[in-house]
């Protein structure tokens, strides 16, 4: 899409680099930006630079934060004997939204995936083992996604943690609430049957 306007093309290129955004959506976004108030565009531009500048990983759990430690590690009311291990910082938000979990987190920033050349040493697994060894941890919940990589990462880490005498658990897999058995895939249904509980 040659607009003959280099600064517009650069903006479209930037939008097109976002996940799941093609050239058409990117150009829609860019034209929308040109229709926005100047202040809003400046605010957007600053939000980008500022977020990248201010936000870094929490040195304890590798969740994202803009201060020394993340808000969860700093919160005195959290249960410090449970660690929930997740793939990404976004998963922390998903679990926080349930308002059900009161423990700490550990963000791996990836999953073991030999196909993509990601081994255990590229993830923050060593830091997790240090936390389990040094602190008074009673349970580690493996909350990686129920995918091949998620499962194998959970199993791998579980094997490393068990020798410390810590309980290792895994999120339940089954039919989602509001779902329909007819549309559930075979493995999900198999897992739901296998993990059935008494009424």
Residue 83's nearest CA partner among 149, 129, 151 is 129
Q: Is 49 in the site for its own copies (CB under 8 A)?
A: yes
Q: Is 68 in the site for its own copies (CB under 8 A)?
A: no
* Single residue of 59, 68, 79, 93 touching its own copies by CB under 8 A: 93
Of 35 and 194, which has the nearer Cβ to its own copies? 35
Rg of the chain over all Cα atoms, to the nearest angstrom: 21
Of 46 and 79, which has the nearer Cβ to its own copies? 46
Taking the C-alpha atoms of residue 86 and residue 106, their distance in angstroms, rounded to an integer, is 6
**Cβ neighbour number for residue 167 with a 10 Å cutoff:** 12
Q: Is 29 in the site for its own copies (CB under 8 A)?
A: yes
Of 1 and 133, which has the nearer Cβ to its own copies? 1
Q: How far is CA 166 from CA 69, 83, 146, 158, in A?
A: 25, 11, 22, 10
* Single residue of 22, 59, 68, 71 touching its own copies by CB under 8 A: 71
Q: Is 22 in the site for its own copies (CB under 8 A)?
A: no
Residue 144's nearest CA partner among 127, 167, 164, 125 is 125
As given in the structure block, the two tokens for residue 127 are 């830091």
As given in the structure block, the two tokens for residue 18 are 């976002």
* Single residue of 22, 47, 164, 176 touching its own copies by CB under 8 A: 47
Supply the minimum distance, in Å, between the C-beta of residue 149 and its own copies.
17
Binding site residues, its own copies, CB under 8 A: 1-8, 10-11, 13-14, 17-21, 25, 27-34, 36, 38, 40-52, 54-55, 64-66, 70-71, 88-90, 93, 96-97
């Amino acid at each position: 899409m040659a607009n003959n306007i280099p600064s517009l093309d650069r903006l479209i290129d930037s939008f097109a680099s976002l996940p799941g955004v093609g050239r058409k959506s990117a150009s829609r976004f860019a034209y929308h930006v040109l229709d926005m108030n100047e202040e809003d565009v400046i605010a957007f531009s600053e939000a980008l630079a500022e977020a990248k500048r201010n936000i870094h990983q929490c040195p304890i759990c590798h969740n994202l934060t803009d201060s020394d430690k993340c808000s969860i590690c700093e919160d005195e009311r959290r249960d410090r004997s449970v660690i929930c291990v997740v793939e990404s910082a976004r998963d922390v938000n998903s679990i926080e939204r349930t308002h059900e979990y009161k423990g700490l987190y550990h963000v791996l920033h990836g999953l073991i995936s030999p196909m993509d050349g990601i081994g255990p040493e590229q993830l923050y697994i060593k830091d997790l083992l240090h936390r389990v060894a040094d602190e008074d941890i009673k349970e580690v919940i493996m909350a990686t996604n129920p995918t091949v990589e998620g499962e194998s990462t959970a199993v791998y880490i579980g094997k490393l943690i068990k020798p410390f005498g810590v309980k290792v658990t895994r999120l339940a897999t089954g039919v989602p609430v509001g779902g329909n058995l007819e549309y559930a895939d075979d493995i999900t249904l198999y897992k739901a049957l296998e993990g059935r509980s008494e009424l």
